[in-house]
Amino acid sequence: MDSPTINTVLRLLKKEIRRWKIPAVGVVAERAADRPFETLVSTILSLRTKDKVTEAASRRLLERASTPESIAALPAVEIERLIYPVGFYRTKARNLLETCRILTEDFEGKVPRGMEALLKLPGVGRKTANLVLTVGFGDYGICVDTHVHRISNLWGYVKTTMPEETEYALREKLPRRHWKTYNDILVTFGQNLCVPVSPWCSRCPVARYCPRVGLKKSR
């Protein structure tokens, strides 16, 4: 897939995804534009967890304590109780506590606005850091999760084996104006139509542009 085609595909999908739900991080972020701490919390909670569960857990926690200082003051068991049943809730509670302690002590209670500093926070990988920068701060970044990695490869737009490689390849290739929306479009598309294992190619609005690289089964 070349650059003119990716423009067309993303334009078509942007229209298409309006009828589907927004991924959990997008939901929280929409309500909390310019509040990067909320984006950070919901992204940490979202790993291996369904969107509905992530959204409810983020809401419970942030209603109880909405700043790094106030979360850092909570006992770990209370955070566990508030975020349960997100996946790995005990580890996530520990990471959140430690992250909030670092933000309080080293960053004056604010989320740092830079990739390097974000990557030092426990439980924060490149995906989370990119999401905080793009959604929370409105900066440039490309958040690559499994859907973004998988679909970019199905389209033949990148040829990579790991999400991190995909991020670097997209930084080279994807026009900057798509950086902020690429994740939301592909995650929503990947959850609803271009699903893993057997995507709904027969109903796909961009099927004629898609070479389906490496795809074994579809519906």
Stretch that binds ligand SF4, among 82-90, 116-124, 164-172, 204-212 (CB under 6 A): 204-212
Count CA within 13 A, CB hemisphere, residue 46. 26
For the bound state, the minimum distance from the C-beta of residue 160 to ligand SF4, rounded and expressed in Å, comes to 16
Q: Which amino acid is at 119?
A: L
The 133-162 site mask, x for binding ligand SF4 (CB under 6 A), equals: ---------------------x--------
3-class DSSP assignment, residue 109: coil
3-class DSSP assignment, residue 13: helix
* Residue number, 23 or 199, with CB nearest to ligand SF4: 199
The C-alpha atoms of residue 89 and residue 92 are separated, in whole angstroms, by 5
Assess 82 for contact with ligand SF4 (CB under 6 A): no
* Residue number, 31 or 159, with CB nearest to ligand SF4: 159
Closest to 28 in 3D by CA, of 9, 53, 6, 5: 53
Assess 201 for contact with ligand SF4 (CB under 6 A): yes
Q: Which of 127, 180, 184, 217 is catalytic?
A: 127
Q: Which amino acid is at 23?
A: P
The C-alpha atoms of residue 165 and residue 157 are separated, in whole angstroms, by 13
For the bound state, the minimum distance from the C-beta of residue 213 to ligand SF4, rounded and expressed in Å, comes to 9
Q: Which of 14, 15, 106, 145 is catalytic?
A: 145
Q: What's the token pair of residue 105?
A: 């002590």
Stretch that binds ligand SF4, among 30-38, 72-80, 101-109, 201-209 (CB under 6 A): 201-209
Phi, psi of 202 (to 5 degrees): -65, -20
Assess 14 for contact with ligand SF4 (CB under 6 A): no
127 as an active site residue: the answer is: yes
For the bound state, the minimum distance from the C-beta of residue 58 to ligand SF4, rounded and expressed in Å, comes to 29
Q: What's the token pair of residue 67?
A: 């700043």
Window 48-67: residues binding ligand SF4 (CB under 6 A): none
92 as an active site residue: the answer is: no
Assess 206 for contact with ligand SF4 (CB under 6 A): yes
Residue 95 sits at the vertex; the CA angle it makes with 110 and 41, to the nearest 5 degrees, is 50
Q: What's the token pair of residue 145?
A: 């999760």
Of 1, 96, 148, 210, the residue at the interface with ligand SF4 (CB under 6 A) is 210
Contact 198, 217 (CB under 8 A): yes
Q: How many residues bind ligand SF4 (CB under 6 A)?
A: 13
For the bound state, the minimum distance from the C-beta of residue 126 to ligand SF4, rounded and expressed in Å, comes to 24
**Which residues are identified as catalytic?**
127, 145
